[in-house]
Structure formats: C-alpha cells, structure tokens
A and B are shown apart, each in its own frame.
Chain A
C-alpha cells in the first residue's frame, strides 16, 4: 500500500512499471481486485485486465479498456489513475460501493502492450499492433478496425502500411481475439467502454454504418448526461454522437461488435486535447484528464447499474 500511495500518477510510465503498479494495487486490495490474464500479445507479452469484484458468480459486468491505440498515452495513464480511484473509492463513495455491490468491473489498462512497448523504445508515434503482415514489410494492424463488425468496410484501409489497416481477417490480431474470447466466455457484460484520445468525443455505435442503432435515443441521453458530469470539472468541451455521424465512417470497431452481440451500453471516449499537443499531451494534464474522465465514466456505470436489461 505504501508503494501505491507513492506511485506518481502524474507521469507517463513504461509497460513494466504499469504492470508492477497493477501487482501492487492487487496486493493492496486483495479482497476487491484480481489480475486476470486474458492471454498473450503477438510478441508474447501478457495481457492483463484488473477485475474489481466483491464476490458472486457471473455477475453482470462492465468492461473498460484503454490504450488499444498505442500512442494515445494519456489513455493508459488515465486508466492507471482510474484503477486506483475505483479501489480507493470503494467503501467511501456510495456510488462506487453500490456499483461493486451488484456488478463487476474489468479494467484493461494496456490493451495493446506490444504497441505500447514499441512507442517507448522505437517509435513514439506507433498506433497499431506489431504483427507481421505476409508479403509486406509493414507491420501491424489497427486493432480498432479488426473487430467483426462490418469488417473490411469503409473507413479502414486494405494497405498493411496504413495506420488504419484492418488486418487480414476479423480478429486476426491476437490482442483483439483475447478480448473477444473473454467477453464471449463471460457472457454477462452489460457495458463496454473503450478509451481513446484525442478530439474530445463520447461516441456510441455505429461506426461501420451511418444507420442509427435501435437504442440511439437512450445512448445519446446517457452520453450527454455523462459529458455534463465530465465537463463540470474543468469545462472541457465534448461532443456526443454516433461514431459515423460525429466523426467518420469506420468499420471493424470494438463498440460496434459489442453492441451487435447485445451489449447495449457500448461507448467510446476520445479524451482531451486542450492544448495544441495532440498525442503529446504534457504529463501535467494526466490528472485533470483522468479526473474528468472518471466523472463521465462513473455516470455511465451508475446508469448501467440502475438500468438492468
């Protein structure tokens, strides 16, 4: 616990430090948090989700992932802070306590560990996985174009050298497959939230088509209310809408797949870029970003808890 308290949440850390932090957090809250190994990455790095649970079997659950795009460092950093926040608020914040009394939370801090390691050692601007593409010298696929939802359609590239390359087939990227297997195997996820940066958006399905989802009105209302909470802290301006309508048509995205398999409350955040820094958000903005994101996230989680289906 001493180590958790001295962890510098206002700094960017490499993969080893984040994994060590996860171990420390689990050790500090053994009755609340466990580390679930969901498989290994292409380069054989372990992939971990933190499971926050107060017991029960196959409880309804909420999935949160960060860092599927490697270079979006503020997402992994925010997720580290959020993990600690959930742990420290349990038993203190009635909303978090009540949530964990009924549901589990799975939080994946580094969803693309190979890419993240690569951004620290070789190319800070790397976004994709690190898989080898047969017949090409370019590596990796965009893991958010690789899900089985309109796979290979508009808004994804066929070119392995593109940053939005969809991969050879749906779930070809083992990092995606591992999450898919966990979600399918669990069978009781009620919400799936993916955290990206930047542009300051909260989106719901669809991305692969501009057709409205049947739950559009509810998702829009939930998203709008979540952003009201988020904005209340630092007045960071967000837009809310479907992926296709507020940014662009993009096929093979994670939240389209989760929505289509019945996880109604599927959202994707694009976190802040308040300065002119893009992916190079200064570390002194990690805490404000995490704090405001947590407010939005907590609203969505509370809504999911209160609206079982």
Chain B
C-alpha cells in the first residue's frame, strides 16, 4: 500500500484490493471482517485494527454511506493507512490502540458507489428496487430505527431522502445494526459524509437535547478547533436538528440511543465551487485535517471510559 495513490479517486475494486493489501502487510494488526452483503451481493467489508485482547472497547468509523460523496471513501482509505503508519510512532494513537480496537468501514454503500463510477455520478442512495415504483434505492441515512418515518425523511421512493419501507430494510444498514449489537462494547461511533463542513451530534429526529449534550458540544468544539489548526478550515458544530434541519431515521441518533455516547457525524470539506465533484487534489488535505478531529474524539473516548 505504500504505492497506493491516495491523491486520486479509486474504483470499488481498487479499494477492495487496497484493503486486502493492508491486511496482508499488517497481519498482526489489521483484519477484514465481512459484516454482510449489499443488495447486489457486494461484501460489506470492515477493517479491524487491533493489537490484541478480546472484545475490547472499540471505536467505529464509517465513510461513504452516501455514495456520491467520493471524498469520504477516499479519506477513509487514507485513514486506514494512517492508522497502521502512526501506530508505534504517535503516542496518542498508540495508547488508544493498546487498549481499544478501531473498526473502519470505508465503502458503506458499495452498490451505490459502484453505480456512481459506472452509471450515475450523482447517485446517493442504495440500489434496491422499490416495489410499485420505477425509482430505485433508499437513503441509508434515513433508514435507522430512530424516529423512523418522522419529519425530515421522505415516504416517496423517488426522493433523495426516501426512508425505505421500514427501519433497517437496507442490508447496508441492518448489517451495521447487527454488528454493533453483537459487539456490545462500541464506545464511539463516527459516521462521515461530505460536504458542508460540520461536526454534528444527536439528535436529528427530536428537539430534545441529548443527555450528554454539554460534553458532546465541548468535544465537538475541541475537534473542530484541532481540525482548523492545519489549514484554517472552518466548521460549524452542534446537534443535527439545531445546526442543519430535522432528519429522522439517521445513523447516529440510533447509535446514541443504543448507549454509544460519543456518536458524531461529519460533513467534510466544501470548496464552495465544486460540490460533490471535489477535485482530487483536495483529498489528502481533507483527510489530514479530518484526522485531527478524529483523533480528538478518539482520544477523549479513550480517556473518558464509561
């Protein structure tokens, strides 16, 4: 993976190969878990970074649940390499990995991602057909069992925010739900999107504040301050409903309600000129600055066990 070009966008097959190479190069730290299959049968790969032990407390990171947000999958690939490179060199990451595991799902919506490369660059949803409709796919970030079906999600299969027929109807979502429940010891959950430059915490489906709001807010401030220290990129932060809009059935609302206190979602860099077509030369700067915020969240999780 030293020769992998992190400064350009890659197809799903290239990312799958990268994952296998990383595992082969780091057999004592990295393993690949297939937590399920997408609707079209693609593996839902999760990289596990672990230095030993069983069922250690863990941190979950996923990228690319909305397929067209290419900078997220590209950043996830960079994070994977960063973790193996920095272990043993960066004291903070080393301390975390000596006590905790990190799970990283780089392509959370593989059917959609493949579709963006082959058929429709602007595709966001999954690729499961909807009976009775010509429109395909479900917004996997409206499909979680957290205020499912409430305001801020669409009941129309043709909408970009279609919630699906029922919570967890999408295997891409259900597979994570099953994994999180069966693991039972995940302490932080970070879901990464692009592009609005925001760091958000629960809730999206209700105006009720999360019971840990004060701590989550302070940690978000620390994370975006660290992020901005590299290139000055400015982020907004707060709860989903107060910072963007009401959204029901979202990922981190469900994880928070499962008891995962440090639940956050990112919206990565926005040049204000290109939208989802972020130039490839922005990938590494985006990944580098985001890593600083991720480290702030992971370090806080490590130092504040619960």
Q: Do A and B come from one complex?
A: no
Enumerate chain B interface residues (CB-CB to A < 8 A): none
Enumerate chain A interface residues (CB-CB to B < 8 A): none
